[in-house]
Amino acid sequence: MKKGLFISFEGGEACGKSTQIKLLKEYINKYKNKDDFVFVREPGGTPLAEEIRKLLLNYEDDKPLPMTELLLFCAARVENVYKVVKPALENGKIVIADRFYDSTIAYQGMARKIMSAKQILSLTKTIIGNVSPDLTFYLKISPEKAFDRKKNINEDLDRIEKEGLEFHRLVSKGYDYIANLEKQRFCIIDATKTPNEISAQIIETINKKMEENL
């Protein structure tokens, strides 16, 4: 049986991550083997995890405490990994994730200061074992430029997107930290490039990784 491949997309708010995943889906839909690709998101991926997502991102009346937030993200991850991600990888699929544990390090670790990156990595290993992306695209943009972009977004922002500039500066630092710590799996992309330029870079990198994975 062929080996599965796990690819994640990471980045702060308004980095263009959703746009790139959409463009990648459009590209993959042209593949004869498009059914070999599985797309997931965090938090989410299963009915229960999607309900947790609603609590995390849209629950304004009684905002979760920082530690509650961290544990809810972890609970959703456990559901997603054991019910979707791991079975897909074991069946030789290519899993594309919109966020994974790097987001927890950046948002709940660096920005919320709930746990250190080392502690979050230890917790992650405890709850999901050695499931980790083989390749991570980090769409890097300064929080200042991201805030300028958000002014032009005609959609409601979720609870975390509404956090202030200083919070998102810390998120950016968190991503820089983990990207430097795990250089071998990170592909850092200048998110100020045009969507088509970024998409071409992502597709080229994925095709190369798939060839190496054969």
- pTM for the full model? 0.94
Identify the three-state secondary structure at position 139: strand
CB 41, CB 103: distance < 8 Å: no
Distance CA 17, CA 150 (A): 13
pLDDT the model gives residue 58: 79
Structure-token pair, residue 65: 């405490």
Total number of domains constituting the chain:
1
CB 95, CB 89: distance < 8 Å: yes
10-residue averages of pLDDT along the chain (214 residues): 89 95 96 93 96 85 89 98 98 97 97 95 96 98 90 73 90 96 97 97 96 86
Distance CA 204, CA 40 (A): 21
pLDDT the model gives residue 138: 98
- Check which CATH number belongs to the domain holding 116 and give it: 3.40.50.300
Give the domain range for residue 175: 5-213
